[in-house]
Chains A and B, each alone.
Chain A
Amino acid sequence: MQGIPFQPEQASSIARSVDHLYFFITAVTLFFTIVIFSTIFYFMLKYRRRSPDERPKAIEGSLPLEVLWTAIPTLIVAAIFVWGSSLYFQNSEPPPGAMEIFVTGKQFMWKAEHPEGQREINELHVPLGRPVKLTMTSEDVIHDFFVPAFRVKKDVLPGRYTSMWFAPTKLGTFHLFCAQYCGAFHAGMIGSVIVVEPDEYERWLMGGVQGESMEAAGERLFRENGCITCHLSDGTGPAPSLLGLYGNTVHLTNGQTLIADDAYIRESILSPAAKVVNGYKPVMPAFQGQLSEEQILNLVAYIRSLGHPLDNAKGKQQEEGKK
Chain B
Amino acid sequence: MSTATLEPRVQAPRNYLNAEYGWKSWLFTLDHKRIALLYMISITFFFMIGGFFAVLMRIHLIEPQGALVQPETYNKLFTLHGVIMIFFFLVPSIPTVLGNFLIPLMIGARDLAFPKLNLLSWYIYIVGGLFTLYSAIAGGVDTGWTFYTPYSSTYSNTQVTAVVVGVFINGFSSILTGLNFIVTIHKMRAPGLTWFRMPLFLWSIYATSIIMILGTPVLAISLFLLALEHLFHVGIFSPALGGDPLLFQHLFWFYSHPTVYIMILPAMGVVSEIIACFARKRIFGYKIVGFSSVAIAVLGFLVWGHHMFVTGQSVYAGLIFSFLSFLVAIPSAIKVFNWTSTLYKGSISYEAPMLYALGFIGLFTMGGLTGMFLASLATDVHLNGTYFIVAHFHYIMVGGAVMGYLGGIHFWWPKISGRKYPQGWAALAAAIIFIGFNLTFFPQFILGYLGMPRRYAFYPAEFQVLNVMSSAGASILGVGYLIPLIYFIWSMRYGPVAGANPWGAKGLEWQTSSPPPPENFTQIPVVTEEAYAYAAEEKTSRG
Contacts and interface: CB of A to CB of B under 8 A. Distances in A.
- Decide if A and B touch, CB cutoff 8 A: yes
B495 interface: no
A223 B534 CA distance: 86
A7 B246 CA distance: 32
B373 A69 contact: no
B242 to A, nearest CB: 7
B450 to A, nearest CB: 5
A98 interface: no
B310 interface: yes
Contacts of B148: 141-142, 180-181
A74 B454 CA distance: 31
Contacts of A7: 449-450
Interface in A1-55: 1, 3-8, 17-18, 21-22, 25, 28-29, 32-33, 36-37, 39-40, 43-44, 47-50, 54-55
Contacts, number: 284
B234 interface: no
Contacts of A88: 315, 318, 377-378, 381
Nearest to A159: B239
Given A47-B343, A66-B285, A151-B381, A146 B71 contact: no
Contacts of B329: 73, 77
B535 A148 contact: no
Nearest to B318: A88
B282 A183 contact: no
Contact of B284 (A61, A182, A187): A61
Given A8-B451, A74-B330, A81 B376 contact: yes
A205 interface: no
Contacts of A308: none
Contacts of B370: 29
A144 B376 contact: no
B465 A1 contact: yes
Interface stretch (B149-157, B166-174, B261-269): B149-157
A72 to B, nearest CB: 9
Contacts of A55: 280, 347, 534-535, 538
Chain A contact residues, majority secondary structure: mixed
Give the interface size bracket for A toward B.
Answer: 35 or more
B338 to A, nearest CB: 8
Contacts of B376: 21, 25, 80-81, 83-85
A170 to B, nearest CB: 15
B115 interface: no
A37 B359 CA distance: 10
A188 B282 contact: no
Contacts of A48: 348-350
B453 A56 contact: no
B246, B315, B451, most chain A CB atoms within 10 A: B451
Interface stretch (A171-179, A195-203, A208-216): A171-179
A60 interface: yes
A87 B346 CA distance: 45
Contact of A157 (B312, B326, B454): B312
Interface of B: 71-72, 75, 142, 144, 146, 148, 150-151, 154-156, 238-240, 242, 245-246, 279-282, 284-288, 310-312, 315, 318-319, 322-323, 326-327, 329-330, 333-334, 336-338, 340-341, 343-350, 358, 361-362, 365-366, 369-370, 372-373, 375-382, 384-386, 446, 449-451, 453-462, 464-466, 533-536, 538
Interface of A: 1, 3-8, 17-18, 21-22, 25, 28-29, 32-33, 36-37, 39-40, 43-44, 47-50, 54-62, 65-66, 69-70, 73-74, 77-78, 80-81, 83-85, 87-89, 91-92, 107, 140-142, 144, 146, 148-149, 151-155, 157-160, 162, 175, 177-188, 190, 271, 274, 288
Given A17-B378, A83-B376, A288-B240, 5 more contacts: A55-B347, A56-B281, A59-B345, A84-B322, A180-B385
